[in-house]
Amino acid sequence: MSSISASHPVLIAGAGLGGLCLAQALKKHSIPFKIFERDFKQDFRAQGFRLRISEDGITALQYALSPEIWNLFEKTSAEILGLGHLGRLDALTAEPLPAGGPPPGARGGLQPFTVDRTTMREVLLTKLEDETQFGKYVTHFESNETGVTVHFADGTSESGALLVGADGVKSTVRKQLLPDYPFLDSGSRIIYGKTPLTHQVEAELSDNLLGGMCLLKEDEANGVPKTMLLEAMRFPKASSTIEHINLPTDYIYWVLLVRRDDLSIPDAELLSLSNEQSSDLALSLTEKWHPSIKPAVIHQDRSQTATLRVHSVDPAIPDWQASTNVTLIGDSIHAMPPTGGMGVNTALRDASDLARRLVDAHHCEKSLDGLVAEYEQNLRLFARKPLATSWMAGSKAFGLQPVEQCERLSF
């Protein structure tokens, strides 16, 4: 396998957070790379809401980012509210439930950051304009002894020393590389939502929902059992423009989780709901909730609501035969339930670990032979723990069914 060079760069499929973290680390260490993103422009679609960046993610970003971009990341983070506890309320009465443990993502020795995903993506795209191409959907790749060639839907192709699939759960890179990889359907469905934190909303909402992360529960005795996790997102510097980034206005991030079997809507229809239809479903499911809680859903931004499947790879993460010049990071290889708050941190950790190995090989003028296998073995050893923790947290707080009962998915 050839070494990385300007004519044989690292090829990154996907401009999500993991792919961009890898790109920033390569740029910081003067290693040639190119990014190919399937979306036609940076803001082509909504990029999600609140994320918690904890110890593994922080360590990865500190390695990957230049001091200038790390400073930008810090400045654009949200205010930390009540991170040390997880409030729990009965959704019908607004009465406290027995206290839970620390919220997802709260563990670790470093103070976590709370970020808006779209904002963080803007930060990680900073100064990568020359290396990023949008509207480039990977259809397939071809490997040979000198590297890899990637082919795109527009008929073009690019060649490089290494292809990194950072293209998410439905990764076309993984689909070709590991066609039988075990993705699972957890049996749960989630509705993501965002509610602008206006003066009206603050006045109508229970104070318990404004001081940090809160879990709302409606048990089976009252119909469809459901759980909502929500958290206020406040940006102290939102009134000022931070370089090229406009911070969002304050909002409440929420996610409503329901078991698939408790919904009367067929799965094919449920997973194709529009933003407006997802909004209506959330309103219907929370119709009987307490008046001090319902405003979080009533005043939602209807253009931002989405219904998704909770899926995951098998927490055991089986071994596979490594390629010499194609590998994967993040959700493309170890998607996990969001219930542990660990998916993004594990993806960032992947990116920094792979970058360290590439930096060492490039600067020591070593071949990349064996690098992918070593990286992937380390990835499996690390990712099994956050996967198991995510399933355990999901089972305890949200009623995720056991892994053994989950259906196999084919992406």
pLDDT digits (tens, 9 = 90+) for 166-208: 999 999 999 999 999 999 999 999 999 999 999 999 999 999 8
DSSP-derived secondary structure for 257-273? EEEGGG-SS-HHHHTT-
Q: Which of 310, 110, 94, 114 is nearest to 204 (CA)?
A: 94
- How far is the C-alpha of 277 from the C-alpha of 236, rounded, in Å? 33
**Average pLDDT of the residues in 382-398:** 88
- Binned at pLDDT 50, 70 and 90, residue 363 comes out as confident
In 272-397, DSSP assigns E strands to: 306-313, 326-328
User: Residue 294 and residue 201: Cα distance in Å, rounded?
Assistant: 10
Q: Rounded distance, CA 393 to CA 395, Å?
A: 5
pLDDT at 85: 63
Q: What is the CB-side half-sphere exposure of residue 213 using CA atoms within 13 A? A: 21
Residue with the bigger pLDDT between 332 and 212: it is: 332
**How many Cβ atoms from other residues are within 10 Å of residue 87's Cβ?**
21
**Running DSSP on this structure, what letter comes out for residue 86?**
-
Residues of the chain with CATH 3.50.50.60: 10-76+116-184+312-409, 87-114+185-311
* 120 in Cβ contact with 76 (< 8 Å): yes
- pLDDT at position 212, please? 85
Question: In angstroms, rounded to a whole number, what is the distance separating the alpha carbons of residues 202 and 224?
Answer: 28
Average pLDDT over residues 320-335: 95
Amino acid residing at 306: A
Confidence (pLDDT) at 62 = 98
Distance separating alpha carbons of residues 319 and 383, to the nearest angstrom: 12
Identity of the residue numbered 108: G
Q: What's the half-sphere exposure (Cβ side, CA atoms, 13 Å) at 31? A: 29
Q: Are strands 251-259 and 407-409 parallel, antiparallel or unpaired?
A: unpaired
* Helical axes 17-28 vs 55-64, angle rounded to 10°: 40
CA pair distance 378, 359, nearest whole angstrom = 17
- Mean pLDDT for 372-397 is 92
229 neighbors 259 (Cβ within 8 angstroms): no
Structural contact between residues 350 and 63, judged by C-beta atoms closer than 8 angstroms: no
pLDDT at 236: 82
Question: Which pLDDT value is given to residue 106?
Answer: 54
Name the phi and psi angles at 220, rounded to 5. Answer: -65, -25
Please state, as a whole number, how many other Cβ atoms lie within 10 Å of the Cβ of residue 244.
Answer: 10
Could you give the CA distance from residue 1 to residue 11 in angstroms, rounded to a whole number?
A: 15
Task: For residue 82, name the pLDDT band (cuts at 50, 70, 90).
Answer: low
Encode 177-215: b = buried (16+ Cβ within 10 Å), e = exposed: bbeebbbbbbbbbbbbbbbebeeebeebbbebbbebbbb
**pLDDT of res. 149:** 97
* pLDDT band at residue 369 under the 50/70/90 scheme: confident
- As a whole number, the mean pLDDT across the chain is 90
- Are 183 and 335 a contacting pair, CB within 8 Å? yes
Q: What tokens does 134 get?
A: 């949008």
pLDDT for the residue numbered 44: 43
CATH H-level, domain 87-114+185-311: superfamily: FAD/NAD(P)-binding domain (3.50.50.60)
Fold of 10-76+116-184+312-409: FAD/NAD(P)-binding domain (3.50.50)
Res 41 pLDDT > 70 = no
**Helix (H/G/I), strand (E/B), else coil: 184:** strand
